[in-house]
Structure 1
């Protein structure tokens, strides 16, 4: 085989090999940026940080609201005369503790103030009000009661407290944007509406 023919054959083989490697490896030509993996492509703002003012308000307010419910529930676990009331109070505390941790985590991820680190003027917003009483007044009114009188007062106040939580959650569903916050809001509406019915039924038996 002549030198000219051998060179032509080598060149043809090299071109064929290069084309094959490119097709199999999916690599980008030299000097170009690699194609980003669609599953790991990042935006200028992570998904867990995309939120609006309503999401922030909901998380901050609901943390404080849940803390109040747990305080009231803890008193009922110790003081309620009716086993059903004590059981309900324990379930409220058990459910709302993890939700506080969840919402506190969101606020940290979003770069927003925790409830204790900001001034919540007008914090009540209808959600903290229980028949004209704030948290301290409600706890004071319960502290002077015992027996069935305590149970009835606790249920009455917790119904009002739950209604406030439902109202705040409905605001989040109407105006919020963060998917996880909206899912929690829906859970709060469903769970606390069911508990309101349970408490109303308990009141009717006392």
Structure 2
């Protein structure tokens, strides 16, 4: 049984709805020009992501570029739980995290492709202040040593390490999403950021309760 199925479903609906709306818009535009005319408008079921229509600024670019590796690490952590966790709620939460964040990675990569920006902040020389190639400088990112310790853990030890690490990871994502809400201008990016803040705060609350009983 999923711990927070309504949160994952809500976030999937946000990105899927944006993709479907853009696909219709691109179909209507046909072969005419425009900033996004050459981009794919597939929905999430196809495995591709649609660009975010409308204006965007450097805050939107930075949000997507930083949140992609941040989400990727969360997904990597979540995938470890299946064979290592002993607590059923921890396993269920890990499944929810992967289901929510995997598709969001594809969505944000689609945005950056449509904006003509690389998916990696370290490769974006137009934004020298946002080069976070090591990943560890991003809020909530785990170091290589911490990830190795999580991989080595099993059972109750894994449950505690995973929950403690994911709380910090989520708090970092919330910080990044709050920055997007303050400074971003793209409607789709701001909407996703709002969902991240709401849903990950709720998951942090759940994880704190899990820790209390572990």
**Shorter-normalised TM range:** 0.7 to 0.9
Q: Which residue number in structure 2 is paired with residue 84 of structure 1?
A: 89
Q: Which has the larger radius of gyration?
A: 1
| 2-structure distance, mates of 1:170, 1:153 | 26
Matches within 5 A, 1:22-171: 48=53, 50-115=55-120, 118=123, 121-122=131-132, 123-130=135-142, 134=143, 136-171=144-179
- TM-score, normalization: structure 1? 0.72
| 2-structure distance, mates of 1:71, 1:203 | 21
The alignment status of 1:178 with 2:208, answered yes or no, reads no
| 1-structure distance, mates of 2:161, 2:199 | 21
| 1-structure distance, mates of 2:106, 2:138 | 23
How far did residue 180 of structure 1 move?
0.1
Alignment partner for residue 206 of structure 2, among 192, 198, 202?
198
How far did residue 138 of structure 1 move?
2.0
CA RMSD in angstroms comes to 2.3
- TM-score, normalization: structure 2? 0.70
- Size of the alignment, in residue pairs? 163
Q: Which residue number in structure 2 is paired with residue 33 of structure 1?
A: none
Q: Secondary structure at the match of 1:127?
A: coil
| 2-structure distance, mates of 1:84, 1:44 | 47
Provide Cα deviations, 1:123-144, integer angstroms capped at 9, x if missing partner: 44442444xxx2x222111122
| 2-structure distance, mates of 1:89, 1:44 | 40
| 2-structure distance, mates of 1:84, 1:156 | 14
How far did residue 72 of structure 1 move?
0.4
Going from structure 1 to structure 2, the CA distance change for 1:176 and 1:43 (only over 3 Å counts) comes to farther
